[in-house]
Amino acid sequence: MSLGNIRTFRVAAVDLNGQMRGKRLPRSAFDKLREGSVRMPLSVMNVDIWGADIENSPLVFDSGDADGVLLPTDRGPVPLPWLDTPSALVPMEMYYDTGAPFPGDPRHALREVLDRYASRGWTVHAGIEMEFYLVDDSGDDLQPPENPHSGRPIQANAILSLRQIDAFDNFLSDVYAACDDMDIPAQSTISEAGLGQFEIDLEHREAMRAADDAWLFKALIKGMARKHGMAGTFMSKPLADEAGTGMHVHFSVTDREGKNVFDNGGPEGTAQMHHAVAGCLEALPASTLIFAPHGPSYNRFVPGAHAPTGACWAYENRTAALRIPGGHPAARRIEHRVAGGDINPYLALAAILGAAYAGIEERMIAPPPITGNAYDMDLPQMRKDWASAIDLFESDPLIGRIFPEMLVRNLILTKRQELARLAEIPADQHWFTYLETV
């Protein structure tokens, strides 16, 4: 690792809401990072969306709010090109003083899931489609951004419009340059269905690296949008009458020889793939809290609005929660289409891949793939409200096998506190809380 000429840098771990929690440090502290010189309270990993301690949290009241040790991941340092002063971020993970991983750290939760695949000699690869909005937040409510060419607010939908992409060329060019600097493998960009909505696809990588990419990419979009006089947001539905914001995860699994274990040489995929599909479907209702973690997340789950609400799968069908894309059999993969853009990418991948592994391990049987419009079918549904999603996540046995007990407990405490506090805030002001925190 090297900081170049940077005088100060940041260290940050990811909390349960996907936010960066850490410190700014002088250059002289860099060489001591791997010695465990950076300490933070363990409780900071599950503060609520406003950054407040969780009431009656065992991490605060039972342990005396003890410190943990932050140690660098294998990713950093990563430049932060949207800042005026040259700066870098070193991504970190939380550990106990004993050296044991802290079970409340979302990145450790994903690693535990990936270790299950590794025990079979398998490696998981994931590619992520990141949708986001550019908005004008200068008034009392959110509005579409101004067209940089005309200076007037965007008024027409422009799905797959090159004209709209070209209008935001300066912003998008800076995003791509920053992705190069940060080693985030940005691929295609499209103008999406909503006013000021875009999607940038991140190339398939080893799954932990893909989660890191998504986490850093969200920070990049928010920071670069501000540099261009706008706000960038991954809120699930920032504009009430526009399309929701999703995060689609494509994943496949390779064995020791590098062969895709989902590839049987044809379009249907292997039995292993079908078992993985079955596991994902089995866990889908109880995973709602991961894929829709905030109060406004549930505004996106409207039948027919391009956000899957029913537990089903299909070949080449975008109304299904799980889609098996076409193409060459060697690239056979599962596309999980449920998560909103406001998720914690580490928890989302842990939920998806943990469920898939459980399906493979138990040889779960998937129902037949659907044909036609999933929104017109009688299917097991995602939870329709935040409170019931919290309750089901807490009690579901499959969730208890995917995630550490401490993380489940901490997330439930966090979400119940947020649920109570958000109820005191008028709905038309919720965006002040979530615009750039998610």
* CATH classification of the domain holding 360: 3.30.590.10
Single residue among 102, 125, 149 that ends a domain in this structure: 102
SS3 47: coil
Report yes or no on 25 lying in a domain.
Answer: yes
In 392-434 the beta strands, taken as DSSP E runs, fall at none
Higher pLDDT, 170 or 56: 170
Its domain, for residue 79, covers 8-102
Single residue among 79, 102, 125 that ends a domain in this structure: 102
Q: Is the dihedral of CA 296, 298, 304, 309 positive or negative?
A: positive
- Name the pLDDT band for 305 (thresholds 50, 70, 90): low
For residue 114 the two structure tokens come to 């990936």
Residues 77 and 163 in one domain: no
Residues 119 and 163 in one domain: yes
Report yes or no on 108 lying in a domain.
Answer: no
Residues 219 and 158 in one domain: yes
pTM confidence score: 0.96
Q: Is the dihedral of CA 189, 192, 196, 200 positive or negative?
A: negative
| CB-neighbour burial class of residue 207 (10 A; exposed 0-12, middle 13-18, buried 19+) | buried
Judge whether residue 204 has pLDDT over 80. yes
Task: Give the Cα separation of 307 and 320 in Å (integer).
Answer: 9
For residue 350 the two structure tokens come to 């842990």
Report yes or no on 388 lying in a domain.
Answer: yes
Q: What is the pLDDT of residue 307?
A: 79
Residues 165 and 292 in one domain: yes
Residues 254 and 333 in one domain: yes
Residues 63 and 123 in one domain: no
Asked if omega into 77 is within 30° of 0 (cis), the reply is: yes
Residues 265 and 380 in one domain: yes
Task: Give the Cα separation of 321 and 58 in Å (integer).
Answer: 36
Residue 133: phi and psi, rounded to 5, are: -115, 145
Q: How many CB atoms lie within 10 A of CB 308?
A: 26
pLDDT tens, position by position, 286-302: 999 999 999 999 999 87
Q: What is the pLDDT of residue 194?
A: 82
Q: What is the pLDDT of residue 150?
A: 82
Report yes or no on 109 lying in a domain.
Answer: no
Residues 347 and 312 in one domain: yes
41-45's contacts with Cβ under 8 Å and 24+ in sequence apart are: 41/65, 41/66, 41/67, 41/68, 42/66, 42/67, 42/68, 42/94, 42/102, 42/104, 44/15, 45/13, 45/15, 45/16, 45/21, 45/94, 45/102, 45/104, 45/105, 45/410
Residues 97 and 158 in one domain: no
Residues 203 and 82 in one domain: no
Is beta strand 8-14 parallel, antiparallel or unpaired with respect to 88-95? parallel
**What is the per-residue DSSP string for 113-173?**
HHHHHHTTT-EEEEEEEEEEEEEB-SSSS-BPPBPTTTSSBP-S--TT-HHHHHHTHHHHH
> Which CATH number belongs to the domain containing residue 64 in this structure?
3.10.20.70
Report yes or no on 414 lying in a domain.
Answer: yes
pLDDT tens, position by position, 238-258: 998 888 999 999 999 999 999
Count helices and strands (H / E) in the chain.
Answer: 12, 14
How far the first Cα of the chain sits from its last, in Å, is 29
pLDDT tens, position by position, 87-142: 999 999 999 999 999 999 999 999 999 999 999 999 999 999 999 999 999 999 99
Task: Decide: 350 and 402 in contact? Cβ < 8 Å.
Answer: yes
Mean pLDDT of the chain: 94
Q: What is the pLDDT of residue 301?
A: 82
With a pLDDT cut of 90, the percent of the chain lying above it is 83
What would you measure as the largest C-alpha separation in the chain, in angstroms? 61
Residues 152 and 86 in one domain: no
Q: What is the pLDDT of residue 141?
A: 94
For residue 107 the two structure tokens come to 């990145």
Report yes or no on 94 lying in a domain.
Answer: yes
Task: Give the Cα separation of 220 and 198 in Å (integer).
Answer: 14
Single residue among 57, 78, 102 that ends a domain in this structure: 102
Report yes or no on 3 lying in a domain.
Answer: no
Residues 62 and 208 in one domain: no
What's the total number of domains in the chain?
2
Q: What is the pLDDT of residue 156?
A: 67
Report yes or no on 402 lying in a domain.
Answer: yes
Task: Give the Cα separation of 207 and 124 in Å (integer).
Answer: 6
The contacts of residue 257 (CB under 8 Å, 6+ apart) are none
